[in-house]
Structure 1
């Protein structure tokens, strides 16, 4: 391998580690509603798990609320069930056309856990970049 090839390989691996950190941080709950909070959610529809973004539009019309509008209204119950079974900590409100998720304010204990998780993610990324 030439020096340029090694350099390109190292840069690619470092960028991949940083991209992964950004994705992980986007999924961490803050005090504001963020559609990224439900991006990792898989919904069991049509006989297989499907990412929620493929079966519904997800938005945050208010700072404390996430709204999920399924493209097929028949999937509302499956989406609601997936949210309830996830570890997101949301209580879905189904009105027959869409699902609303109210994002409660963070407690001190939850904030401490989030800070610890973020530090853990940062350390994992540092190790990945060093290697």
Structure 2
């Protein structure tokens, strides 16, 4: 996959980087979809206005799980407790934050069969959106390849080889998406 034309090498490196970013984004989105056990990263993404700056809750509090369904948020500065509760309520996490004056508890309900099916639909949509985005990246890369080919008068064989490399990278990343999706579906459906 190392070509004499530097533009082709740069094209492939940029293309793989874009695919990697899309896959990383999908993995981060999968984290927010609850399977059997809650993950503290669900609450870490929520931000609040802290002295005029939007700050993630993870930078202002200890966040921990006490059991499979409960997240406890212990702010270091008690003055932000009410603001955190409002932000967590607005974040639509699937639960209502409970404030006892010192800590915030997020108690998530047990997943029903219907909820599990909805979550599977949600992760399938996330995966499909990622696959579509990756295919769009392939189309853009092939368009760039055509521009490079016209400008640098590349041979037809070289263009076909690069197109093959682009398609192979896409196939590999879509395989990774499908594997991550299958694992997440399994996690969601496991009781």
TM-score, normalising length from structure 1?
Answer: 0.88
What residue is the counterpart of 2:26 in the other structure?
21
What residue is the counterpart of 2:66 in the other structure?
61
Query: If each structure's helix is expressed as a fraction of its own residues, which one has the higher value?
Result: 2
Shift of 1:106: 1.1
Shift of 1:50: 2.3
Secondary structure at the counterpart of residue 109 of structure 2:
coil
Residue 80 (str. 1) matches residue 99 (str. 2): no
Equivalent residue in structure 2 for 1:119, among 116, 120, 124: 124
What residue is the counterpart of 1:5 in the other structure?
10
Residue 110 (str. 1) matches residue 115 (str. 2): yes
What residue is the counterpart of 1:93 in the other structure?
98
Q: Structure 2 unaligned runs (5+)?
A: 1-5, 138-191
Equivalent residue in structure 1 for 2:43, among 38, 44, 55: 38
TM-score, normalising length from structure 2?
Answer: 0.63
Shift of 1:21: 0.3
Shift of 1:51: 1.5
What residue is the counterpart of 2:185 in the other structure?
none
Greater alpha carbon shift after TM alignment, 43-52 vs 26-35: 43-52
Q: Structure 1 unaligned runs (5+)?
A: none
